[in-house]
């Protein structure tokens, strides 16, 4: 997607560069997505087709692109992706496995990504809380009083906001590859980038491999995107480069204004008292899914979430990094999403 990555107060920021897309609230169309499964050998994929119904919903003056897979009469899982990430970065294989578990799955493009509305941030700045309100608008658009909410990275922080500030809309929470929403990682990043030892009283900084990738300053383009996702994948599990490349090329091709995704980096820097609300107030059943090879939010971030949220269950996924780009991993994570 032409991701450029920099440190932000609450995470990395990926900036896609070009593309196109159109739509209007209420418009709907049907498409098919490939549900990927490993073959018996585990090295190749075969695909079956699932119906996906696309539509736009209104969030105030904004149009939010969404799609839904599964029986609309079943409980819903709302997938909330990370910073600058479109809904299509939620793997089809994960969606298919969730549908097999007996739910409908709704994905969407955050404002300023994919086919959703572009915002003039200088004129209309927004916060993580505003991005969370887009999630509520998606639920409203589908006539859903509540849903299971599963968020990854920044999406996990948005999910925390929903758990704290809109508890009646949240059936359960699954926080994947994320960090406490009120935590400021800037000091840890600064120490790591300066070559100083980590502060034992702070959450751990990103991995040296991730910081080295940032320092390399690769030119934007699909090749640098793939290199970034290889780092995100981590060094333990195999990296499915072909699947990652196809996903990144798709996202690039469908972005209305790829540069607008940089606004997420500005949003996470916006100070907002609602982010400082205690996570101990979350009452929804909560699962934390975190890889032990996450280069952006090392495992200590997931452990901190589990400690802060009453009754939360921590699932440590061996060998998992920050993304689900290893064969079989999307299905494995789907089985851990709280329903």
Residues forming the active site: 153, 294, 322
101 phi, psi to nearest 5 deg: -80, -5
Beta bridge partners of 52: 31, 69
Tell me the HSE value of 200 on the side-chain side, using a 13 A CA sphere.
0
Beta bridge partners of 53: 30, 68
Please list, in sequence order, all residues whose beta carbon lies within 8 angstroms of the beta carbon of residue 200, skipping any fewer than 6 positions away.
none
- Give the integer Cα–Cα distance in Å for 216 and 329: 28
Structure tokens that stand for 153 in this block: 């990275």
What count of residues does the chain have?
339
Enclosing H/E stretch for 230: helix 222-233
CA distance readout (Å), 78 to 63, 88, 175, 202: 17, 13, 12, 31
Beta bridge partners of 175: 151, 288
For 170-262, strand residue ranges (E) read 170-176
CA distance readout (Å), 297 to 63, 152, 243: 31, 11, 23
């Amino acid at each position: 997607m032409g991701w450029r990555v920099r440190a932000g107060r609450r995470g990395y920021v990926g900036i896609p560069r070009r593309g196109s897309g159109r739509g209007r609230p209420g418009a709907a169309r049907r498409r098919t997505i490939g549900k990927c499964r490993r073959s018996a050998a585990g090295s190749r994929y075969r695909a079956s087709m699932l119906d996906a119904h696309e539509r736009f919903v209104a969030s105030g003056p904004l149009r939010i692109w969404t799609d839904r897979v599964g029986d609309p009469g079943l409980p819903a899982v709302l997938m909330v992706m990370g910073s600058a990430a479109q809904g299509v970065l939620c793997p089809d294989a994960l969606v298919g496995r969730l549908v097999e578990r007996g739910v409908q799955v709704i994905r969407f493009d955050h404002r300023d990504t994919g086919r959703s509305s572009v915002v003039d941030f200088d004129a209309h700045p927004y916060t993580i809380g505003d991005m969370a309100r887009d999630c509520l608008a998606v639920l409203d658009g589908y006539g859903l009083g509540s849903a299971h909410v599963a968020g990854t990275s920044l999406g996990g922080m948005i999910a925390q906001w929903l758990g704290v500030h809109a508890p009646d809309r949240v059936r359960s929470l699954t926080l994947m590859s994320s960090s406490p929403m009120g935590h400021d990682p800037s000091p840890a990043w600064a120490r790591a980038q300066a070559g100083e030892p980590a502060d034992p009283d702070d959450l751990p900084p990103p991995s040296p491999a991730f910081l080295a990738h940032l320092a390399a300053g690769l030119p934007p383009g699909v090749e640098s995107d793939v290199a970034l996702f290889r780092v995100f994948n981590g060094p333990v599990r195999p990296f499915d480069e072909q699947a990652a490349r196809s996903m990144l090329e798709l996202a690039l091709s469908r972005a209305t204004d790829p540069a607008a995704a940089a606004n997420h980096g500005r949003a996470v820097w916006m100070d907002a008292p609602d982010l400082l609300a205690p996570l101990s107030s979350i009452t929804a059943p909560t699962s934390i899914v975190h890889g032990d090879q996450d280069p952006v939010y090392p495992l200590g971030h997931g452990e901190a979430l589990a400690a802060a949220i009453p009754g939360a269950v921590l699932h440590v996924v061996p060998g998992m990094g920050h993304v689900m780009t290893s064969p079989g991993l999307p299905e494995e994570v789907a089985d851990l999403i709280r329903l």
